Copies of this chain bind each other. A is one copy, B any other.
Amino acid sequence: MRRDVFQAIADPTRRAIIMLVAVQSMTPNALAEHFDTTRQAVSKHLRILTECELLKQNQSGREIYYQLNGDKMKEIDHWLAQFKKIWESRFNQLDDVLATLKKEKKSNI
């Protein structure tokens, strides 16, 4: 199953997990206390976050500490930067102006 960072952060619970784990590594049980669901449900979220490499596991006996992989978050950053580049440079392009003119021409006839 192909896991995607964007699909991973689509779920609010997973976004909350990311924030919690960003502060400090946590076990599934500790995380589950913050939510109104079962540990198993949290475990499923952790699996998805781990599969797309947003989290890393750190086993200590029978406990598993989940910690954030900050680097992976940069993928979102990168996409946003890419967008901003286009968004900010679009004012230098004639495309929008032309589209507007075309539209106005049509509706003014």
A80-B80, A107-B61 known; A22 and B99 CB under 8 Å? Answer: no
Stoichiometry, copies per complex: 2
**B22 near A90: Cβ-Cβ < 8 Å:** yes
A20 to chain B: closest residue by CB: B86
Q: Do residues A86 and B6 form an inter-chain contact, with CB atoms below 8 A?
A: no
The docked-state distance in angstroms from the alpha carbon of A41 to that of B48 is 27
- Contact status A24-B103, CB under 8 Å: no
> Which of B6, B60, B87 lies in contact with A9, CB distance below 8 A?
B6
How many residues of chain A are within 8 Å of chain B by beta carbon? 36
Roughly how many angstroms separate A15 CA and B5 CA in the complex, as a whole number?
13
- Could you tell me which A residues sit within 8 Å of B by CB distance? 4, 6-7, 9-10, 12, 15, 18-19, 22-25, 58, 60-61, 65, 68, 70, 73, 76-77, 79-80, 82-83, 86-87, 90, 93, 95-96, 99, 103, 106-107
- A–B pairs, 7, beta carbons within 8 Å: A4-B12, A6-B15, A22-B86, A22-B90, A24-B96, A73-B80, A76-B80
